[in-house]
Structure 1
Amino acid sequence: MIVSKSSTWHLADAISDCQPPSLSRDGYALVDPGAFSDAGELASLCGRMCVPINWGKDFTGLPMLIDLRQCDARQKEWLESALADDLEAQQRFPLFRPRVCGYLETLVSADVVASHLGQQMLVLPIDKSGNRSGSAALWRFFDPRVFANLCWLLDADRFAALTGPISTWLFPWFGNWFELATSPVRITGVNAAERIAGFMRIDIEVWERAQRVALVNQVLARLALPPDISWSQRASVANHIETAVAVAKDRLHWDEREDQARYAEHVVRYGLAFLTHPKLAPYWTLREAQRTPGSWADLAALLTTEEYDVLAQQAMNTVPTLPPANFSNTAALGTRDL
């Protein structure tokens, strides 16, 4: 996809807290058909499926774009009810799969938006030499549990290529709604050099980080941060979780995802008090040298209940003390191997 920027913008400054969108106004609702238990009402809305290039007739996993101007009052009320139910469910189950994934505003037609989103969904990891490095995948970046993390993981150019002609993108994350004010780009055609057999190229380093986002969300849910914190605060915590997950896997050689998640949770929850604990410091050295085996349970057994209590007392509030997230990083999630 060849895009032309209308202006420069910074992701860190483009996102703000907002109220859930009113679907009674114009604009587009982006929904996940697979999250609806009854697709009958959804089918009557005449939405447009966001279908990748050369896709078959199986639309499983693909989003639907609904032009709210073409919906009558009853249909809009039904969508509003689904959105409200999503919000309530997310209060109790933070990782709940939402039905209404976003509210979009743009000056282009629904057909153009649906086509653009669909064309971004097939990706193929490549290495620095431009060679294929990994399996092709369907990238469900529209899922707000994914999209919210992309806002701090992707650099501005890659993110602009995803959002394309969309000027406003509202999305939920952990029970709150946030507004992304983008700088829309002009679509001038499909660049074959950017694709391999219809798949968008994506850097392998970006793709490897992409696989951590599910764990990032899981750890965020376990930390149970205050519901009223801002997007930038939650994104900062997510950034530190992602870094800790990478350390657990690459430096401390924990292959089990649960071990990686537990390590990241403790790093963010207890900080230096955990990392520099006298009983644990020698353990980190042994793990890095691959001179001691074991899972997270083996590490946990090194500390007594009383010592964990002391860690909790020493731990500071992570939200105001963490430095800002690095909004120039890259990555993604929401994949299905093809």
Structure 2
Amino acid sequence: MQSISPPGEVIRNGYLLIDASNIDDETFAEPLPMLRCTPGLLSNADDLMPRLIDVASLSPEQQDDVTLALLRETTGNRPPVICAWLDSSTDIDALARHVARFLVGPDSEGDFVFWRYYDPRVFSLAMTLFSPVQKEALLGPITSWRFPWCEHWWSVSGPGREIDPLGGCKSAWPTGKQWNSLNHSRLVAHVLLQMQIVSNKQSAMLPSECLRCQRGIDIALINGEQHLKLTDADELAEYALYSVRYGDAFLRHPKLDTAWTDLVHGKISWSDLQALLDSDDHRVLNQQSQWTQLPTGAA
């Protein structure tokens, strides 16, 4: 997973992977031909399934339009519409079948779920967690998966060959441990945005900062949920933000020495723990904060 420059000219080829649920009247100047990627188990939800656009089949004016829409994906905080720009030598029908193949499968509890792996907020996390074998299976006939995330463009190279379709989704499906992280995809994205806000940065995070913060937030969320027994999404997000922003200065703060154990055993709440730090403590934490340094361990 490498950061890349955005397209420097109008795109004329490849396939755009679209999240239909986020399209509005302002996304494209006119309706565009799209092929739906719908697995058989989700035929009743066809309208919400991801779609593909064959860029080469568009008119020059339409190609201008989709290029502008593509470039807008790294600005603002809107949910992604164009999730990826794909290169593949296969035809669009075969590519749609491949995309649909990994949309449905069992979660960590064995229940069948719709997995939005194509969403950049999910895909970027999956690429940091997956083994090389899982990545090759997920990309299959795709040779280049370029996507917008964290205000940058990124690229992952694929093998360009389809894996055995008789294997179903298993070859590229998350393990139970990976689900622990992937279930937090939206929270990770939320905390990343908060990191940008509280740091008062006038420009985007560096690509290396995006990757390190994503990993740190993921670790903090798992720790908060599994070890500190936090269940509320807002509390988990706050804990992750504090952990990554302040690191050990927060996690090992003298005033919180016994509070972590009390929190685990339900003797105090998350808000009670926060209240142990006064305005002077927060001022010192802010002065010492070097938020790109990740925490060295769990609380």
- SS state at 1:274 partner: helix
Q: CA deviation at 1:143?
A: 1.1
Q: Residue 17 of structure 2 corresponds to which residue in structure 1?
A: 30
**Residues 87, 104 of structure 1: CA spacing in aligned structure 2 closer, same or farther, 3 A cutoff?**
same
Matching residue's letter, 2:218: E
Mapped partners of 2:231, 2:162: distance in 1 = 43
Residues 155-200 of structure 1 show CA distances to partners (whole Å, capped at 9, x for unaligned) of 22222211111111110012221122233333343226949xxxx8
Unpaired runs of at least 5, structure 2: none
**Structure 2 CA distance for partners of 1:22 and 1:111, relative to 1, 3 Å:** farther
User: How is 1:13-52 mapped onto 2 (pairs within 5 angstroms)?
Assistant: 14-20=1-7, 22-38=9-25, 44-52=31-39
The 10-residue stretch of structure 1 (205-214 or 261-270) with the greater mean CA deviation from structure 2: 205-214
Q: Deviation at 1:305?
A: 0.4
**How many corresponding residue pairs?**
292
SS at match of 2:187: helix
Alpha-carbon deviations, 1:297-328, whole Å to 9, x = none?
21121111011101111222x32x449xxxxx
Indicate the structure with greater helix content: 2
Aligned equivalents of 1:48, 1:73: Cα separation in 2: 20
Q: Normalised by the size of structure 1, how large is the TM-score? A: 0.78
Q: Which structure: greater strand fraction?
A: 1
d(CA) in 2 for partners of 1:193, 1:182: 17
Kindly indicate whether the alpha-carbon contact (under 8 Å) linking 1:15 and 1:181 is maintained by their aligned counterparts in 2: no
Q: Does 1:143 align with 2:147?
A: no
The residue number in structure 1 matching 2:81 is: 99
- Cα distance between partner residues in 2 of 1:23 and 1:139: 31
Task: Give unmatched runs, 5+ long, in structure 1.
Answer: 1-13, 127-132, 324-338
The match for 2:189 among 217, 229, 250 is: 217
Change (3 A) 1:271 1:202: closer
Partner of 2:226: 250
CA distance in 2, matches of 1:253, 1:306: 28
What residue identity is the alignment partner of 1:304? D
Give the whole-Å Cα distance in 1 for the aligned partners of 2:28 and 2:285. 52
Q: Does residue 292 of the first structure (1) align with residue 267 of the second (2)?
A: yes
Q: Normalising by the residue count of structure 2, what TM-score does the alignment of the two structures yield?
A: 0.87
Whether the aligned pair in 1 keeps the contact of 2:244 and 2:294 (CA below 8 Å) is: no
Q: Which residue of 2 aligns with 1:205?
A: 177
- Report 1:119-268 matches (<5 A): 119-125=101-107, 133-191=109-167, 194=170, 202-224=174-196, 227-268=203-244
Q: Deviations over 1:188-239 (max 9, x none)?
A: 43226949xxxx8643332232211211111111110654444343122111
CA contact (8 A) 1:53 1:119 kept: no
1:74 partner amino acid: E
Tell me the equivalent position of 2:257.
281
Task: In structure 2, give the amino acid aligned to 1:103.
Answer: W
What are the Cα deviations for residues 278-305 of structure 1, in whole angstroms up to 9, with x where unaligned? 11111012223x05131x3211211110
Q: Please tell me the root mean square deviation across aligned C-alpha atoms, in Å.
A: 2.7
Task: Report the AA paired with residue 292 of structure 1.
Answer: K
